[in-house]
Structure 1
Amino acid sequence: MTRWLVKTEPDECSIDDFARSPDIAIVWEGVRNYQARNFIRDMTVGDEVFVYHSSCKHIGIAGMVTVVRDAYPDPAQFDSKSDYYDAKSTPDNPRWTAVDMIFGRKFPRLITLDELKVLPQLESLALVRKGNRLSVMPVSDDEWKTIVSLC
């Protein structure tokens, strides 16, 4: 099992969206960065994922979800009405990937970026490194344990 962190704007998809229907999978779509896409391609059923709220008033890790479907072509790339439509992507040669995830748990409080940045155990975590804008990134077992211990 691999562990991940995904960034999302809460008005688009938040931990509360997952919690509202905890047994219904949400399609994690719309990632349009090649390195992040490659990480999504590595996601498999059972992988645990931190949900990080960004570009909002309260920024930080809000909870956890679990991958319930291996990576597959992102359906939004073929929908001309979608914000994530990609005219260069075809069903025979899809460029973008999605996964399905379900609710795991909401943390009792938001774990802020400032908290994460000061921990020496997390200095290698991509999220805390300057200039990292990836929306999907791996989290090592030790990093995962450190973050969970903050709850």
Structure 2
Amino acid sequence: MNYWLIKSEPNTYSWDDLVKLGKDHWDGVRNYQARNNIKAMKPGDLALFYHSVNEKSIVGIAECVSDFYQDPTTEDDRWVVVDFVPKNKLKNPVTLEQVKSDARLSDMVLVNNSRLSVQPVKKEEFDIILAISES
């Protein structure tokens, strides 16, 4: 199993939107590095759901439930999506400030390349985020 972080502007698409739908594809990615990360996702992988812009916090965990396939929002075959289902909402959101202030997370992609919309997360980082959420 691999771990990821997926980012969305909550006024465009929020955690609550995914929960309401129950299952949805992650579309609109137009960055090659983020696209390659989507191509690496497999069913069963878990993703931290991050609200960007004003909130800047990790709010939930989504599970990948498909292999990648053509992004239905474009005819350009370079762009792909995967399907996610909501797994669970974090007990407490974990803010970007909390992530940046925790030395154990200093190598996290979110800290070093915060603009990347789909990024890998190490298992240890994932577990630390969950622990922070519980405190």
Measured against the shorter chain, the TM-score band is over 0.9
Q: Does 2:93 align with 1:96?
A: no
Q: Does 2:126 align with 1:147?
A: no
- Equivalent of residue 31 in structure 1, options 15, 21, 29: 29
* Contact persistence 1:39–1:136 (CA under 8 A): yes
1:109-140 deviation digits (Å, cap 9, x = unpaired):
221000000111111101011x5410000000
Structure 1 match to 2:63: 66
Distance 2:61 2:110 in 1: 16
Give runs of ≥4 in structure 1 deviating > 4 Å: none
* Contact persistence 1:19–1:106 (CA under 8 A): no
TM-score by length of 2: 0.93
Where does the alignment leave 5 or more consecutive residues of structure 2 unmatched? Answer: none
* 1:102 partner SS: strand
Distance 2:11 2:114 in 1: 22
The structure with the largest alpha-carbon Rg is 1
- How many residues align structurally? 133
TM-score by length of 1: 0.84
1:75-123 deviation digits (Å, cap 9, x = unpaired):
1112xxxxxxxxxx2xxxx110100000111113221000000111111
Structure 2 match to 1:86: none
Percent identical among aligned pairs is 39
* Contact persistence 2:90–2:130 (CA under 8 A): no
Structure 2 match to 1:105: 88
* 2:65 partner SS: strand
* 1:6 partner SS: strand
Give the root-mean-square deviation of aligned CA atoms: 1.1
Q: Which amino acid aligns with 1:108?
A: K
Structure 1 match to 2:12: 12
More helix by share: 2
